[in-house]
Amino acid sequence: MQEGGTLKPCHHSVKSIGGVLLEDIRKGRYRGKLPPETELAAELGISRTQLRDGLAILEQSGFITRRRGIGTVINHHVVDVVTRLDLEEEFTAMVRGAGFASEMLLTSVEVRTNDPLIASKLDVPLSTPVLSMGRVVTADGHPVIYSMDHVSFSIIKNFTYTPEDLALPVFHFLDRFCSTSVAMDLTEVKPILADETLSKILVVEPGAPMLYLDEIAYNIDNEIIMYCQEYYVDNVLRHTVMRKKI
């Protein structure tokens, strides 16, 4: 980025390039269109190839549209959406983006074996140990999301993690201790009613309506790296899904 009027080289990953541009768009730095690629690449201190890869991610997510002879148009109707259910985002960032103060609390950690559902979702033998981590996310102090993340021991490369490591968003665990990251999720979305366990965790009445996401996460090599069960309290976050015509 530019600092003190001089260009400071940046070493962004493809995802962070897109994140930097999206943040600048949301802050109003760019209005109708992005600057020409040559100018933008120089501004970020990256090559045009790196920039194009970052722009491809933004276009895939619907934030921009690249049109020959016109340039890169910003789709503000998409940018202005507060919560995108079809985008992978850390829970606290999602809740803060909706205008609430948020924190994440680690509620449980256990090693499971011989759980047919989890083994099937992770596509591992039934006897494979699985690290299961429960977390609650709050909005202005009230529980609004409960997640259970399951990671097979078969992909964990470093077992020196601490409770403090597990209290962070699961993406940090995958990156630091599994040397991998989520590239894509396949998610089943359905409404459910809170049972006794969920009512206690999320402080809602038994039978309260909730949104349930049953999610399998894959890395860039199309390998299953995590199975997630996510429960959202009703009437707090407004979820939007972008659907593109193919």
The 3-state secondary structure of the chain, one letter per residue: CEECCEECCCCCCHHHHHHHHHHHHHCCCCCCECCCHHHHHHHHCCCHHHHHHHHHHHHHCCCEEEECCCEEEECHHHHCCCCECCCCCCHHHHHHHCCCCCCEEEEEEEEECCCHHHHHHHCCCCCCCEEEEEEEEEECCEEEEEEEEEEEHHHCCCCCCCHHHHCCCHHHHHHHHHCCCCCEEEEEEEEEECCHHHHHHHCCCCCCEEEEEEEEEECCCCCEEEEEEEEEECCCCCCECCCCCC
Q: Which CATH code of 3.40.50.10880, 3.30.9.10, 3.40.1160.10, 1.10.10.10 fits the domain covering 2-79?
A: 1.10.10.10
Per-residue pLDDT at 13: 53
Q: Where in the chain is the domain with CATH 3.40.1410.10?
A: 91-233
- Domain limits, CATH 1.10.10.10, in the chain: 2-79
Q: Read off the pTM.
A: 0.80
**What would be the CATH architecture of the domain defined by 91-233?**
3-Layer(aba) Sandwich (3.40)
Q: What is the pLDDT along the chain (246 residues), one digit of tens a residue?
A: 333 333 333 444 555 788 888 888 988 898 889 999 999 999 888 899 999 989 998 998 889 999 888 899 999 998 887 777 777 778 998 899 889 999 999 999 999 999 999 999 999 999 999 999 999 999 999 999 999 999 999 999 999 999 999 999 999 999 999 999 998 999 999 999 999 999 999 999 999 999 999 999 999 999 999 999 999 999 888 888 888 877
